[in-house]
Amino acid sequence: MLRYLIRRVLGVPFLLLGVASVAFILSQSTKGDPLSALVPERMMNNPEIVQAVEAQWGLDKPLPVRYVVYMKNLVQGDMGTSFNTRRPVARDIAERLPATLELVVAAMIVGTTLGMAIGLLSARFRHSIFDNAARGFALLGSSLPIFWSGLIMLYIFSVQLKWTPGTGRLDARTQAPEGVTGFYTVDALLAGNGGLFIEALSHLALPALVLGWSVIGIVARLVRSSLLDALGQDYVRTARAKGASDRVVLINHALRNALIPVLTVLGFTFAYLITGAVLTEAIFSWPGIGSYAVSAARSLDYPAIGGVTIVGATAFLLANLVTDIAYAWANPRIKVSG
Amino acid sequence: MSAVETLRPASPSRARRAWTFVRRLPLTGQIGILILLFWAVTLLTVQFWPLVDPLMMAGRRLQPPSADHWLGTDALGRDVLSRTLHGSTYTIPVALMVVVSAVVIGSALGAAAGYLGGWTDAVIMRAADVTLSFPPILLAMTVAATLGPGLPNAGLAMVIVWWPIYARLMRAQVLEVRTREHVEAAIAGGAGRGRVLVVHILPLCWTPTLINATMDFGQVALLAASLSFIGLGAVPPSPEWGSMISEGAAKFYSWWIAFGPGMAILSVVLATAFLGDGLRDVLDRRGPK
Amino acid sequence: MSAAPLLEIRDLRAAFPGPHGPVEAVRGIDLMLDAGEVLGVVGESGSGKSVAMMALLQLLPPSAIVSGSARFKGRELVGMPRGEIRQILGQEIGCIFQDPLSAFNPVLTIGDQILEAIRLHDRKISTQDAKRRVLDLLASVSIPQPDRRVDQYPHEFSGGMRQRAMIAMALANNPSLLIADEPTTALDVTVQAQILDLLRQLAAERGIGMVLITHDLGVVAGMARDIAVMYGGRVVETGTADDIFYDTCHPYTRGLIAAMPRLEKITEKLVSIEGTPPSIFDRPAGCSFAPRCKLALPDCRATDPSLRPVHRTSVACLRAEEIVAGTQGAVRAEFEKGAL
């Protein structure tokens, strides 16, 4: 297992190289002309700009050289200039990344806590009405088109019931909190601004719920089955023989063992959430990299889409790596055995 | 593999076998089949139905549901019900073609990788690893944007996203089946490599692929609609479900514009999830995953 | 109170729901154990011996139906509310299971699991005291370097050490009854002897009564005062250890004794009883041993004999008297063939 982990860690740079190579190939095939992936159409007749871009990306050189130049630029954080914002893509992404992370983390908290709670109760009361209803609820979450359920929820809770504010991370006139994390909820708390925290949280709640709902099923299903598996193990009988109550057995023994397989799906869940975040952000006008990618795709802003894709894939790879390491850490059987 | 045959009704006896197979499915699986049948019939015959032309701006704009327009009208005064039903002729065939292409390409590559091993295996599976390193929607968006908007290009992008799943599945199956006794007997009996693969190995490898493909169909339809919603799939004025929801999002207070297409997508995704679960129950006797 | 036995089981039954109604795994057994004594319960797997013990401790799955009576120090265990029996389990009754690897939770250290056993019954004990007790317990079962072992996980222990730790855990609260379910089956032969010695010594030192469940008569020899032989969910013969070994009447017990490897008979090949025990789903009518019994008569397949005193033991066999005499008809022929 240790060897597997080392191989896993060493494999990440190669996968990243592969990801970047795919991005390069795509940038070279845009409309049959790599230039059109770097320069907006309306600036094509501006020779100065065209020349500067050609020099920067080595477009007058042969393909292998262009590949090296592309990689060099990428390593230096240069992903080109967005057609829409006319700013470096890397800067746009850096500014918007915290919003996406805040949404994804919040959705992950929603999805895993609700998923675990539902899975736990489903295992405890299996084949009951609750069990079936909970599975239906979870299945609905993973089957709903998120760009539609988000719309419907927004209509119900914001427009009709007025329980939640409208779209965006804050009310239109509110000044964003100064802060290090870029998570408005956390920054507001750090600044000791309770009102701002409530406002940021109420904006975050609905999109996080909609997005989190989509992964509840994955988590709940796994928690239920691995918990049922754990409850049938010999060590559960041993614990009962020690005089442990059902609650102690469930929490100290079954749950601990059942959570190990759950760790393995967290990486998968993260991938699912990144995909869902792209669409959720578009619906809730959430100023993260997802809505950035969607508006870039709508206007064929190639550098922006490419940049988001590379960043998204990197996040995805790292999340899976962290999951694997966490799995090894949580499972003492794996730690020593080679 | 008999299940694959029973799914293909050709002669009366096959039809009967198909019927007994359907009866063995759990209730949810049967509901799934009913929903899918409804959409199959709809997409084949909808042009003959007594519906308003989905492109005609017939009624008044943004009308809520009424006796004339059961699901209301959109921003251009087009009938939402008619557009929703016609939408099946876009999303479903695209999803079907994507799944079939991904299964064929992915399985062929996976079988080659598993059977030939060595460099072929390494190259194909590393390519699969890299592809699976991307969050699916981002890769699909990038490829679709590179190829240019349009449903066929979106379909191609989705095949690129989906093939590695079937490659991995088929490779694992081939590796497992390859070591079985009847295969070793065939090799010992002097059968050629190609013959062993096609006659003795592949026929035993289809069950997991079939189950996965069924379950994926809904997810592919969902991704297709997502791409259209973003604007990279079907182009207006096509009544594609994703782009209809996008139009509904623009006219946010007229909730009914998005309601019909949303329910349509949901029904397809749920139906395939139900059917996939049912197929797994009946075909995969090794028990739950 | 002092006269009452430590454990007294009367007509204990345990059934599981089956596809065609409940299936009985234990069909009415009577057993008795005095304080400080050792009772051996012997039988092949599927004879119901483990199920019977798990039944009286309420450790069977909730779907199991248990009836009859099992009095521990005069208190009825069958039907006792879970909250009440929890006070007894781990406190007054300790359990040792067959496979110590699967019986320990793989993700908790050995120390934590013994600590839990202490804490479940002594909520006020300080962490320091509890930890000291864990170390003492590990030392008392002769685990070397307890201060290092205490923080290790079950998979880092050898089989024998794991079983020692399991014994330490069962003894954590000084129980008066120990139920050991095949404590040595999963171990190497040399380790088996060590574990048995340890059990014997601890039980004697602390005056613990013990039910020793095993399929191997050799394990109870020299340990148990009384032995009950189980077959097909029933006790088929019971008596003192000496009487069972030297004056057994039941063909099944005789088969078990013949199957024991013995030093003085080392040149002879090992005898085994032909056939397999009946499945609880498909029990024969009449005596459950009849299908495998060389002495079975048509009567044996019709009536299920009940336990009655014959010679020195209690036996459930229609032909027990003939076997004691060893002289008549088929029995004699079998004796002459050396089958018994």
Would you list the DSSP string of A169-229? SS-TTPPPPP-SS--HHHHHHHTT-HHHHHHHHHHHHHHHHHHHHHHHHHHHHHHHHHHHH
Asked if the model's pLDDT at residue A259 lies above 60, the reply is yes
Average pLDDT over residues A263-292: 86
Over residues C68-80, the pLDDT tens digits come to 999 999 899 998 9
Interface A:C, Cβ pairs < 8 A = 78
Query: What per-residue confidence (pLDDT) applies to A163?
Result: 86
Chains in contact with B, where contact means 3 or more Cβ–Cβ distances below 8 Å, are: A
What percentage of chain C exceeds 90 in pLDDT?
Answer: 30
In a domain, B262, yes or no: yes
Beta strands C93-96 and C177-181 are: parallel
Asked if the model's pLDDT at residue B4 lies above 70, the reply is no
In a domain, B158, yes or no: yes
Alpha-carbon separation of residue B81 from A332, B45, B241 (angstroms): 58, 15, 11
Provide the 10 A C-beta neighbour count for residue C206: 14
Range of the domain at B237: 55-283
Query: Closest approach of chain B CAs to the CA of A213, in angstroms?
Result: 15
State how far the Cα of C95 lies from the Cα of C179, in Å rounded to an integer.
5
- Tell me the pLDDT band of C264, cut-offs 50, 70 and 90: low
B50, B51, B57, B58: CA torsion to nearest 10: 60
Asked if the model's pLDDT at residue C312 lies above 60, the reply is yes
Contacts of C63 (CB under 8 A, 6+ apart): C16, C17
In a domain, B4, yes or no: no
In a domain, B126, yes or no: yes
CB contact under 8 A, C107 and A260: yes
CB contact under 8 A, C105 and A332: no
| Closest CB to C97 among A238, A243, A330 | A238
Query: What per-residue confidence (pLDDT) applies to A320?
Result: 84
In a domain, B268, yes or no: yes
Q: For the whole model, what pTM was predicted?
A: 0.78
What average pLDDT is seen over chain B?
Answer: 83
Three-state SS at C211: strand
What residues of A are in contact with residue B29 (Cβ under 8 Å)? none
Asked if the model's pLDDT at residue A140 lies above 60, the reply is yes
What percentage of chain B exceeds 90 in pLDDT?
Answer: 27
Query: What per-residue confidence (pLDDT) applies to B288?
Result: 38
Over residues B101-125, the pLDDT tens digits come to 999 999 999 999 988 888 999 999 9
| Closest CB to A143 among B137, B226, B266 | B266
Query: What per-residue confidence (pLDDT) applies to C222?
Result: 81
Work out how many domains chain B is built from and give that number: 1
In a domain, B47, yes or no: no
Buried b / exposed e across A229-246, counting CB within 10 Å, b at 16+?
ebbebbbbbbbbbbbbee
Asked if the model's pLDDT at residue A81 lies above 90, the reply is no
Interface test with C, best of A233, A242, A336 (most C CBs within 10 A): A242
Query: What per-residue confidence (pLDDT) applies to C334?
Result: 59
Interface test with A, best of C77, C93, C107 (most A CBs within 10 A): C107
- Tell me the pLDDT band of C133, cut-offs 50, 70 and 90: very high
We report the CATH number of the domain holding residue B263 as: 1.10.3720.10
Over residues B124-179, the pLDDT tens digits come to 999 999 998 898 899 999 999 888 888 889 999 999 999 999 999 999 888 888 87
Query: What per-residue confidence (pLDDT) applies to C99?
Result: 82
Query: Closest approach of chain A CAs to the CA of B20, in angstroms?
Result: 27
CB contact under 8 A, C90 and A233: no
Contact A247, C123 (CB under 8 A): no
CA A166: distance to chain centroid? 22
- Tell me the pLDDT band of B3, cut-offs 50, 70 and 90: very low
CB contact under 8 A, A30 and B253: no
**Residue numbers of A between 247 and 286 with CB closer than 8 Å to C:** 248, 252-253, 256-257, 260
Q: Which residue has the higher pLDDT, A257 or A88?
A: A88
State how far the Cα of C146 lies from the Cα of C130, in Å rounded to an integer.
14
Q: Which residue has the higher pLDDT, B174 or C258?
A: B174
Residue of A nearest to B248 (CA): A151
Residue type for position A35: L
What average pLDDT is seen over chain A?
Answer: 85
Asked if the model's pLDDT at residue A160 lies above 60, the reply is yes
Residue of A nearest to B143 (CA): A26
Query: What per-residue confidence (pLDDT) applies to A270?
Result: 81
| Closest CB to B130 among A19, A155, A283 | A19
Query: What per-residue confidence (pLDDT) applies to B158?
Result: 93
What percentage of chain A exceeds 70 in pLDDT?
Answer: 97
Contact B111, B170 (CB under 8 A): yes
Asked if the model's pLDDT at residue B19 lies above 90, the reply is no
Asked if the model's pLDDT at residue B261 lies above 80, the reply is yes
Asked if the model's pLDDT at residue C1 lies above 70, the reply is no
Average pLDDT over residues A36-56: 81
Asked if the model's pLDDT at residue C337 lies above 80, the reply is no
- A46-60, B92-106, C222-236: which has the minimum mean pLDDT? A46-60
Over residues C22-53, the pLDDT tens digits come to 888 898 899 999 988 999 999 888 788 889 99
Asked if the model's pLDDT at residue B8 lies above 70, the reply is no
Asked if the model's pLDDT at residue B1 lies above 60, the reply is no
Q: Which residue has the higher pLDDT, B125 or A259?
A: B125
What percentage of chain C exceeds 70 in pLDDT?
Answer: 91
Asked if the model's pLDDT at residue B62 lies above 80, the reply is no
- Tell me the pLDDT band of B195, cut-offs 50, 70 and 90: confident
Query: What per-residue confidence (pLDDT) applies to A337?
Result: 41
Asked if the model's pLDDT at residue A100 lies above 90, the reply is yes
| Closest CB to B255 among A18, A29, A155 | A155
What percentage of chain A exceeds 90 in pLDDT?
Answer: 21
- Tell me the pLDDT band of A336, cut-offs 50, 70 and 90: very low
In a domain, B3, yes or no: no
CB contact under 8 A, A237 and C156: no
| Closest CB to B141 among A18, A142, A305 | A305
- Tell me the pLDDT band of A27, cut-offs 50, 70 and 90: confident
Over residues C275-298, the pLDDT tens digits come to 777 777 777 778 888 888 877 778
In a domain, B28, yes or no: no
Q: What phi and psi, each to the nearest 5 degrees, are found at residue A59? A: -70, -20
- Tell me the pLDDT band of B5, cut-offs 50, 70 and 90: very low
Angle between helix A302-330 and helix A289-298 axes, rounded to 10 deg: 150
What percentage of chain B exceeds 70 in pLDDT?
Answer: 93
Q: Which residue has the higher pLDDT, C268 or C173?
A: C173
Output the six-digit token pair for B265. Answer: 């997508």
Q: What angle do CA C17, C23, C27 make, to 5 degrees?
A: 130
